Amino acid sequence: MKLHHVLICAALALAGCGQAEAPKQEEAPPAPQTLLEQIQAQAPEQQLVTAYQHLIQYQQTHADTTPRCTAPRATESRGVIPDNVAPDSVYAAYRGAAVYSVQCGQLISRAAFDPTEHWLVVYAPGASEVSVVNCAGPNGADRCPSQVPTVETPAAAP
């Protein structure tokens, strides 16, 4: 009977020999949580598409955002707004946020850009929804320049 137990143990030991350990699955990186993290994880050209899509979604849920964007005419990234943004610019309220410009309107090259159809789509740190800003200023001026205005920071005193 003891020989029988020894043979069973030997058979089990041999059965386990040479079997590779199950391959370990690599853990996927955690999915981005905030809108800012999500858009920054995208390819640059996809970020522009996403910003336009978020503008359309925002306009559908906020009836006061007019005129409606019926066609994108131009989209571009303004990047992450730096700490030294000019305090009197439209961008000043969005330090640290990723900002995208969406110019809506007719796709006719001779038609001038209309500031009332120019929008900023803002992805602020920690925000769960985009902020949308219309670029139309007083007297029909566009208050969203393509270069984010900055101020020189004074050098630290020695």
> Is residue 28 in a domain?
no
d(CA 113, CA 102): 11
pLDDT of residue 127: 93
Strands (E), the chain: 72-80, 98-104, 118-123, 131-134
Q: Is residue 37 pLDDT above 90, yes or no? A: yes
CB proximity list for 99: less than 8 A, separation 6 or greater: 77, 78, 79, 80, 81, 91, 120, 121, 122, 123, 148
> Is residue 155 in a domain?
no
d(CA 42, CA 56): 19
> Is residue 115 in a domain?
yes
Q: Is residue 18 pLDDT above 70, yes or no? A: no
Q: Is residue 3 pLDDT above 80, yes or no? A: no
> Is residue 26 in a domain?
no
pLDDT of residue 111: 81
d(CA 32, CA 29): 9
> Is residue 81 in a domain?
yes
Q: Is residue 20 pLDDT above 70, yes or no? A: no
Domain that holds residue 105: 35-140
Minimum mean pLDDT range among 22-31, 53-62, 102-111, 149-158: 22-31
pLDDT of residue 21: 56
Provide the domain count of the chain.
1
> Is residue 17 in a domain?
no
Minimum mean pLDDT range among 55-64, 94-103, 149-158: 149-158
Is-above-0.85 flag for pTM? no
pLDDT digits (tens, 9 = 90+) for 89-112: 999 999 999 999 999 998 887 888
> Is residue 20 in a domain?
no
Which comes out higher in pLDDT, residue 26 or 115? 115
**Band of residue 153 on the pLDDT scale cut at 50, 70, 90:** confident
> Is residue 158 in a domain?
no
